[in-house]
Chain A
Amino acid sequence: MWWVGTVVALRDETATARTIALEVQDWPGHLAGQHVDVRLTAPDGYSAVRSYSIAAAPNSERRVEITVERLPDGEVSPYLTQRVGVGDRLELRGPLGGWFVWRPEQNEPIQLVAGGSGIVPLMAMIRSRRSTDGASPFRLLYSVREPGAAYYRGELDAPPGEVSPLTVTYAFTRAAPKGWAGRLGRIDAALVARATWPSKLGPTCYVCGPTSFVESAAGLLVAAGNHPERLRTERFGPTGERQ
């Protein structure tokens, strides 16, 4: 089932990532963590389909937001991040996927682990958690190359002193912000031990990122005592265009 969405807003998240907000007539609603397939069709009939996670929390405004990372060799992402304007129409299929989702009735601790643009479906969960006033405490471990590559910075960083149901820990792999006390590098066992829920609390863990990132992070979570059954993963492909 393909829907037609109208672009209602555009927002740059980083120098290379843009959020596209769409209004979709008759949208049946979605769950946090689900994705859509976007289909672009050229005048000659050639079409390309790519999957993008939904960044928006479930809402009643028929609103679907995706955040697209522009890839230099991409077939679809340069168009979505540079050419698409407000009022344009895009074809969408979805909402898709019933497994990598968070529902407000879940009340166990939630551990989110994101690599790069893998933050997108997890952001939908965070936004959903905030909008529903749920009971489950969230922790996010977010690995990015450098501070400028982090999406949703203003929304993730709670004002100092405010009690938030969400605790965010960043891992910077190539460059850290000025005054950063942490160590530069990939997520490792020490960081998992320090920044994720103790496995004895039985958190549900959602891990999203490139394949190699997910392999590594999921392995560390299991090594820290989390049962594989408690892990839900979403990998995206080596071509980078989220497939």
Chain B
Amino acid sequence: MSDDHHLDGNAAAGPLATIFAVDVTAAECQCAHCGTVDRFARTHLYMMSPGVVARCAVCEQVLLRLVSAGQRVLLDARGLTYLSIDASQFQESGR
């Protein structure tokens, strides 16, 4: 699925803000398939209504899917081993 139509993980900041209290796009994440560690902002993002799919920039496996359907939002993050988030943001957001 390596085509020319992907965006960057940056572009998922809005949809992700519906469920996360702090910015996740600047977080480091690890791909559960190939082990690559990089910023979420560097993932390959496919925005296809009604959701977004983030794929590893190295192996193109799915890292995360976020789908809105009616009154529900579904998050599938099985392709991510972890997210490492800069904690200084918590103070800015009062958490």
State yes or no: do A and B come from one complex: yes
Q: Which positions in A face B, CB cutoff 8 Å?
A: 1, 35, 37, 49, 51, 93-94, 96-100, 211-212, 215, 232-238, 243
Top 9 A-B pairs ranked by shortest CB distance? A99-B41, A98-B26, A96-B13, A98-B23, A37-B14, A97-B13, A99-B26, A235-B7, A97-B10
Q: Verify B26–A93 contact, CB threshold 8 A.
A: no
26 A–B contacts from the bound complex (CB under 8 Å): A35-B10, A35-B14, A37-B14, A93-B17, A96-B25, A97-B10, A97-B23, A97-B26, A97-B41, A98-B13, A98-B25, A98-B86, A98-B89, A99-B10, A100-B10, A100-B41, A233-B8, A234-B10, A234-B11, A235-B6, A235-B8, A236-B7, A237-B5, A237-B7, A243-B7, A243-B11
A236 CA to B39 CA in the complex, in Å?
Answer: 18
CB distance from B67 to the nearest CB of A (A): 15
Q: Which residues of A contact B89 (CB under 8 A)?
A: 98
Q: Verify A211–B39 contact, CB threshold 8 A.
A: no
A196 CA to B93 CA in the complex, in Å?
Answer: 37
A5 CA to B15 CA in the complex, in Å?
Answer: 20
Q: Verify A212–B7 contact, CB threshold 8 A.
A: no
Count CB-based A-B contacts (< 8 Å).
64
Select the residue from B4, B7, B39, B42 with max chain A CB neighbours within 10 A.
B7
Q: Verify B41–A215 contact, CB threshold 8 A.
A: no
- Find residues 8-38 in chain B having any chain A CB closer than 8 Å to their own CB: 8-11, 13-14, 17, 23, 25-26
A68 CA to B30 CA in the complex, in Å?
Answer: 35
Q: Verify B4–A215 contact, CB threshold 8 A.
A: yes
- Judged by a CB distance under 8 angstroms, whether B80 is at the interface is no
B interface residues, tally (CB under 8 Å): 21
Q: Which residues of A contact B10 (CB under 8 A)?
A: 35, 97, 99-100, 234
Q: Verify A96–B14 contact, CB threshold 8 A.
A: yes
Report which of A94, A96, A99, A243 forms a contact with B39, defined as CB distance below 8 A. Answer: A99
- Judged by a CB distance under 8 angstroms, whether B47 is at the interface is yes
CB distance from B46 to the nearest CB of A (A): 10
Q: Verify B6–A96 contact, CB threshold 8 A.
A: no
A93 CA to B15 CA in the complex, in Å?
Answer: 10
A201 CA to B13 CA in the complex, in Å?
Answer: 31
CB distance from A2 to the nearest CB of B (A): 10
User: CB-nearest residue of chain B relative to A34?
Assistant: B13
Select the residue from B10, B14, B23, B41 with max chain A CB neighbours within 10 A.
B10
Q: Verify B8–A234 contact, CB threshold 8 A.
A: yes
A236 CA to B40 CA in the complex, in Å?
Answer: 17
Q: Verify B5–A51 contact, CB threshold 8 A.
A: no
Q: Which residues of B contact A235 (CB under 8 A)?
A: 6-8, 11
User: CB-nearest residue of chain A relative to B23?
Assistant: A98
CB distance from B86 to the nearest CB of A (A): 8
**Interface contacts beyond A100-B10, A211-B6, A237-B47: sample of 4 additional A-B pairs, CB < 8 Å, sorted by A:** A49-B14, A51-B11, A51-B14, A97-B23
A234 CA to B11 CA in the complex, in Å?
Answer: 8
CB distance from B58 to the nearest CB of A (A): 11
CB distance from A53 to the nearest CB of B (A): 10
